[in-house]
Amino acid sequence: MITPFTSENSALLLIDHQVGTMKLIHNLPLAVVQRNTLALAKTAKILNLPVVLTSSQETDVQGPLMPELADILPDAYQHRIQRAGIVNTWTDKNFKVAVEATGRNHLIMAGVTTDVCLVFPAISAVEEGYQVQAVMDASGSPYEVSEEMSRQRMEKAGVVLTATNTMMAELAQDWSRMEGGQLLQVLFEDVLPSIA
């Protein structure tokens, strides 16, 4: 049974949001994915969620993680899991240890490419008993077909698909509390700038 995601039971996992790899996203505007990724990072900071960042082969074409992540989440950035090239980050021992160390069983995941970076760890985490929400507009794919197949595969495995604004609202619980007001500001400045 899926239970609500709260600031007390959830952790944020951002997978491979690297400046080179992000150029592979074509099913959504890249700027939208970037804004939503940073909005999730800001949400985690406001709500004091544990965050695990990971990257793959930063010195190659994939490049470093988005530099803004280092500004928003300096500790998580400093302790990011730098993988040598393992595709399913869930099978990387260091990443798995970092996730377990959060003590949270509700995982909010976004991966720079849905069809490679996100689909495999999201399914693997569900198979191990975690509740997982995949943030689809902070992830993307080179092709519509690979995006759609990955979405279907995750849903069949029990991953809940969501969007940044929906995830923020679920975590906020009440816009009138102090953190809720801070989240609203992020929502209107970063996620929904066209209607602000």
**Structural domain boundaries enclosing 68:** 10-195
Instruction: Let me know the angle formed at the C-alpha of 14 by 170 and 140, rounded to the nearest 5 degrees.
Output: 90
pLDDT for residue 194: 62
Query: Does residue 1 form part of some domain?
Result: no
Total number of domains constituting the chain: 1
Query: Does residue 4 form part of some domain?
Result: no
Tens digit of pLDDT for each residue in 102-141?
999 999 999 999 999 999 999 999 999 999 999 999 999 9
**Residue 70 sits in a domain of what CATH number?**
3.40.50.850
196 has pLDDT over 50: no
Query: Does residue 5 form part of some domain?
Result: no
Tens digit of pLDDT for each residue in 83-100?
999 999 999 999 999 999
Tens digit of pLDDT for each residue in 8-50?
999 999 999 999 999 999 999 999 999 999 999 999 999 999 9
Written as one letter, the residue type at 154 is M
Phi-psi sector, 173: left (phi>0), alpha (psi -120 to 50), beta: left
Query: Does residue 171 form part of some domain?
Result: yes
- Look up 117 and say whether it is catalytic: yes
Catalytic residue among 11, 47, 76, 117: 117
